[in-house]
Structure 1
């Protein structure tokens, strides 16, 4: 994930910061416990495309 792109992307729900999970190739919102997929280096920032994750602090 490009660091410049990661610096400007925010959660589409809360506008909070996102963390990039290299192993799953997802952008994670820790507030809403959602993981947004990255497909072909393109972040899919749609709530309907995100998966709910548990255990994120």
Structure 2
């Protein structure tokens, strides 16, 4: 059975978008961190945000 990763929202106070240095918003539906300023989404794998621009997707 596949376990869904659980992201700790408290982490949002400590991390920023590596591209824009702006805030990130957690999207529970897609399990991604969204940078509105950068118009990109970073995936979360096994509860760990993958904050690499090359692993992000454009919005």
Q: Confirm or deny a common fold (TM above 0.5).
A: yes
Question: Which runs of at least 4 in structure 1 moved beyond 6 Å after TM superposition?
Answer: none
TM-score (norm 2): 0.84
Determine if contact 2:9/2:26 at 8 Å carries over to the other structure.
no
Distance 1:47 1:34 in 2: 8
Q: Does 1:34 align with 2:30?
A: no
Instruction: Please report how far the alpha carbon of residue 50 of structure 1 lies from its aligned counterpart in structure 2 after TM superposition.
Output: 0.2
TM-score (norm 1): 0.87
Q: What runs of 5+ residues in structure 2 fail to find an aligned partner? A: 1-6
Q: What runs of 5+ residues in structure 1 fail to find an aligned partner? A: none
Larger radius of gyration: 2
